[in-house]
Amino acid sequence: MLQAGSRLTASQAPTAALCPARHSTARRPFSASPVPPQQHRHASAAAAATAHRRQLLGAPLLLPFVAGRGRAVVMAAAADSHDLLIVGPGVLGSFMGTLWKQQYPTATVTAQTNTESNHERLRKMGLQPVTREAAPAGKQYPYVLFAAPPSGSDDYPAAVRAATRQWDGSGSFVFTSSMSVCATEDGSEVSENCPLVPQGKAAGTDKLLGAEAATLEAGGNVLRLVGLYHAARGPHTFFIKMGEVARYSGYVVNMLHYEDAARIAMAVLAGDGSEGGSGFRGQVFVGADGAPLTFQEMVDACFASGLFSGSVKFTGTPDATPGGKGKVVNNAATRAKLGGWSPKYPSFQQFFKDGGKDYYNSSGLF
């Protein structure tokens, strides 16, 4: 049971927690042992064949390195590979990695982190963890998911730009952004083409918009997510812990379970619904469960489930507290583009009404 009790002022209430987002280093030179002359000939023939195949596929030419011939180094996966790199394998990213392994059993899923603190858990999930510093220089992957939060990097757009260089240009690249970049806060409906927060208005949205620009420039895809949650994580736990919150009880929020956030990220990455299964390039998607609710309805659902105790009092008004009235997110276009995607958990309220059970509180790994 979570208990309520302490007070929170308007200035202390983090609006960013309602729309979570989702290492830039110089590449190290590759060293190779001397290669016998006959291997030079085999490598050159293989390089030409690989180049021809990649031209037919419309992918960039990524020739393998042959010792003594040129300085540029790229280690690319096989043309039919589903190997995946996850930059930021946290709550969302690591679960998506397990889904990817289920879908593509022969694929290698590399989980790139800043530290080794979660490596044991990642191995138990079937992923291959590596720190950013220990990552193989020049290695590229056909599929890349960037799901690291801005807090993990001093220069977020640069970190995303560095990750795009780890993509070999085939497959797909997906950056998990946030609907907090949408400027609407009057309670009206928004979609994939919402008006954006002007550059310079807020440092947080500046980082996200810069990272989105880096992604789209590289031909990757942007997935804007709404407020993410599972039974023990999300804005609901924050409100219940604080007890009194200087926010408007009628503020409209949009939610998506972490499992469903991983599922929709995988759908974009795998190109579900794309023409001929060719995948997506340079597009913006939105992840939401389509069941917006107010702050008051959120905490009411939690207490009605019997999983939480205490109470929450919202003391703000729509005109006197940050955030205005919120927004209603409609992602019908995204769902259609992904071949009729729909969430496993249709709403925040239904999730808790059904007992609040999910992967995160049943796997023993979180």
- Residue 319 binned pLDDT confidence (cut-offs 50, 70, 90): confident
Global pTM reads: 0.80
**Least confidently predicted of 30-34, 123-127, 161-165, 296-300:** 30-34
Q: What pLDDT does residue 38 have? A: 38
**Sequence-ordered strand ranges (E) for the chain:** 7-8, 84-87, 109-113, 128-131, 141-146, 167-178, 186-190, 221-225, 227-229, 244-248, 252-253, 255-257, 284-287, 293-294, 313-316, 326-329
Distance CA 156, CA 191 (A): 25
**DSSP string covering 260-283, please?**
HHHHHHHHHHHTTT-GGG----S-
Q: Looking at residues 62-77, what average pLDDT do you find?
A: 41
Q: Looking at residues 28-48, what average pLDDT do you find?
A: 36
Distance CA 168, CA 170 (A): 6
Q: What pLDDT does residue 76 have? A: 59
- Residue 61 binned pLDDT confidence (cut-offs 50, 70, 90): very low
Distance CA 277, CA 172 (A): 12
Q: What pLDDT does residue 25 have? A: 33
Q: What pLDDT does residue 204 have? A: 95
- pLDDT higher than 80, residue 17: no
Identify which has the larger pLDDT, 323 or 330: 330
Q: Looking at residues 221-233, what average pLDDT do you find?
A: 97
Q: How many helices (H) and strands (E) does the chain have?
A: 11, 16
- Residue 259 binned pLDDT confidence (cut-offs 50, 70, 90): very high
- Torsion, Cα 122 126 132 134, to 10 degrees, reads 110
> Who contacts 71 (Cβ-Cβ below 8 Å, separation ≥6)?
none
Q: What pLDDT does residue 78 have? A: 61
Summarize pLDDT for 261-311 with one digit per residue, the tens: 999 999 999 999 999 989 999 999 999 999 999 999 999 999 999 999 999
- Residue 74 binned pLDDT confidence (cut-offs 50, 70, 90): low
Q: What pLDDT does residue 132 have? A: 93
Q: What pLDDT does residue 318 have? A: 82
Identify which has the larger pLDDT, 83 or 70: 83
Q: What pLDDT does residue 323 have? A: 64
Q: Looking at residues 7-12, what average pLDDT do you find?
A: 39
State the average pLDDT for the chain: 83
- pLDDT higher than 90, residue 75: no
- Residue 331 binned pLDDT confidence (cut-offs 50, 70, 90): very high
